[in-house]
Structure 1
């Protein structure tokens, strides 16, 4: 076993219910797992040593909702929204056209660039959705490319009905040849249950086909109104229901009593000018929430979980601790990948980040400032190779 001692940690967020001061962590770099956690004065010997010099260390972000396989951009659409045009489902047509026209190499290069950008901001585990192909071949290509780089791939063929095709014909494509084509590369299936996309019965059909194929379930729900997506996700025991901007009291109570994670996407809400989800009410009801970037070219062209953390604290009523937990433990619950826990504990995957700050509170206290100094994924430095002092 080859080990690295990370010592001199001013504040260690482990997500075990307490923050440790003057702490240390030992990483087994062979297995990529955490071997020891405790006080710096009691740290065991290790093969190498890294001095955090009083800085804060916390788990890497688990970004459980991204649409990162695409070509092109939609800056003009963003500017139109900022001038007052309301966001509606259906604005993805230009991205679909560009993605279909792009080569595998172009799509992979764009994906890798976005993931590197996210890693530099502390993200260490990722989900990636398809959904910008909307035909059998491009959905398959997107899934295969994503599977080479992320922890979990979600099939989102049911993102929107392509122009010129009936809903019935397209649903038959999604639940038939398209699902069969992506199945070797994906672990879950998603559907955009929303006005302008798919209604509850159509969404149930998509999810049922995915479940029959052995996939976990996800739902885009209640983004633009009370679409029924949350109720459907609870009924079918989905891993997550994402967006959750418009919730009834029964939706909140159901999420509080159930196991489905409510994934909140604050960067998207800012871009679309939708009301923020009732994060405080969800937590008070006992729901598990996740914070994710929703990286996509139309409504949330960001890879920055720190930006989402700051927004959740400053505008959604979460404490720093709650926001961090949502972007780590909550994200891991939504991701559903064995070994990805969002914690710093013995036996957990050694996904850590070092902030250029004495405490994690600086993520919201100093919004917009690039504070992530160094990132370890599976015990290997993947961003910010600089020293601790």
Structure 2
């Protein structure tokens, strides 16, 4: 019989559990707290004075704050190439309609497996250095059967949360045969990609000539569901549209962006289990209006915060920066923003083992070089968050 290894994390100046079952509430911080971890799982949480003392190891945080590891539930990390010039053009006044994705597709198709693997590893390491412990990774920059399957195979090497996004945009070679590309996405490409994916996604934006209509998007999602994949949706990013309605219709775990929402969209989300995943880095990088996250919470909508790290509309992997944006621009308190980036992201991935500090959850923990979680918004751009290494 093997013994279990235990570690006492003590000297926690402030503990924000983000656990909805916690006696004081998910957003109520605990002062002078401690946590016990056994074999990578949280075994005890409470005041330091009551903490068990017979553990194998001890880590003293010396008054630092502890929060759940950030859960980034929307990222595009398998790509090659650079679109800095596109960003500069947007800052000079050009609008975004999704067309720049084709530039990344060309660069990614031309990259080797080793090149993509190296780039992917560097991006994941960059996220972990800022406190992210779980990341969802989409395909979508290959748009051929072989390239989409390759992207998912590489993503699966670093995360179980992989998403088939063959329906990112219609590639140039199918510009005059949209129906043919939808048939490929729902047929041969899906067959090749499904073994490497947990999720299926679609860019449902009728306002863009490059993305997919409501009917096309529904066809893509239904095919993925029939193949055993779980649905999520890119929706309501470029304008009002059917994305939210479609996501709720098919029981999607999340609808992501939600930049332009009407009253009917908010009501549909509030009456569903679909999470509104908000991506403030995109608004920052495209000069679009920020969603009213605080109002969504008031209406009973579940929200998540994620990076949408990608080469075109948000080349940033910093959850702490987006927590600061959510507080400054979207009407959230610091605690609400941290909850959205942890427990909210976990819900968007339909996970209950991450995103909270609670008995039985994974010991995915982020320590702040600060006395409270409020410093994530108070000190934007300062690298105060890091994953707590208990190895």
TM band (smaller chain): over 0.9
**Could you tell me which residue of structure 1 aligns to residue 265 of structure 2?**
251
Asked if 1:5 is matched to 2:19, the reply is no
Aligned equivalents of 1:200 and 1:301: distance in 2? 28
Judge conservation of contact 2:132–2:387 (CA < 8 Å) in 1.
Answer: no
Asked if 1:175 is matched to 2:186, the reply is yes
Aligned equivalents of 1:200 and 1:97: distance in 2? 27
Asked if 1:23 is matched to 2:33, the reply is yes
**Could you tell me which residue of structure 1 aligns to residue 42 of structure 2?**
34
Aligned equivalents of 1:34 and 1:338: distance in 2? 13
Partner-residue secondary structure (3-state), 2:316 = coil
Query: 1:338: how far off?
Result: 5.6
Judge conservation of contact 1:4–1:26 (CA < 8 Å) in 2.
Answer: yes
**Could you tell me which residue of structure 2 aligns to residue 102 of structure 1?**
111
**Could you tell me which residue of structure 2 aligns to residue 77 of structure 1?**
86
Query: 1:374: how far off?
Result: 4.5
Query: 1:337: how far off?
Result: 3.8
Judge conservation of contact 2:128–2:387 (CA < 8 Å) in 1.
Answer: no
Aligned equivalents of 2:126 and 2:37: distance in 1? 24
Partner-residue secondary structure (3-state), 1:164 = helix
Distance 1:338 1:176, change over 3 A: farther
Aligned equivalents of 1:339 and 1:362: distance in 2? 26
Query: 1:357: how far off?
Result: 0.4
**Could you tell me which residue of structure 2 aligns to residue 193 of structure 1?**
204
For the aligned residues, what is the CA RMSD? 1.0
Judge conservation of contact 2:160–2:198 (CA < 8 Å) in 1.
Answer: no
Judge conservation of contact 1:120–1:375 (CA < 8 Å) in 2.
Answer: no
- TM (normalized to structure 1)? 0.95
Query: 1:20: how far off?
Result: 0.8
Aligned equivalents of 1:102 and 1:51: distance in 2? 45
Query: 1:316: how far off?
Result: 0.8
**Cα deviations across residues 106-138 of structure 1 (Å, max 9, x unaligned)?**
111111100000001000011000000000000
**Could you tell me which residue of structure 2 aligns to residue 284 of structure 1?**
298
**Could you tell me which residue of structure 2 aligns to residue 358 of structure 1?**
371
Unaligned runs of 5+ in 2: 20-24
**1:287-302 alignment to 2 at 5 Å?**
287-302=301-316
Query: 1:339: how far off?
Result: 2.4
Distance 1:211 1:374, change over 3 A: closer
Query: 1:27: how far off?
Result: 0.9
**1:73-222 alignment to 2 at 5 Å?**
73-165=82-174, 166-194=177-205, 195=207, 196=209, 197-222=211-236
Partner-residue secondary structure (3-state), 2:135 = strand
Query: 1:164: how far off?
Result: 2.8
Partner-residue secondary structure (3-state), 2:187 = helix
Aligned equivalents of 2:37 and 2:118: distance in 1? 31
Question: Runs ≥4 in structure 1, deviation > 6 angstroms?
Answer: none
**Could you tell me which residue of structure 2 aligns to residue 384 of structure 1?**
none
- Equivalent pairs counted in the alignment come to 375
Asked if 1:66 is matched to 2:75, the reply is yes
Partner-residue secondary structure (3-state), 2:7 = strand
Query: 1:38: how far off?
Result: 1.1
**Cα deviations across residues 258-309 of structure 1 (Å, max 9, x unaligned)?**
1100000001111011111121221111010000000000011011000000
Judge conservation of contact 1:252–1:281 (CA < 8 Å) in 2.
Answer: no
Asked if 1:322 is matched to 2:333, the reply is no
- TM (normalized to structure 2)? 0.94
Partner-residue secondary structure (3-state), 2:99 = coil
Deviates more, 1:46-55 or 1:365-374: 365-374
Query: 1:150: how far off?
Result: 1.2
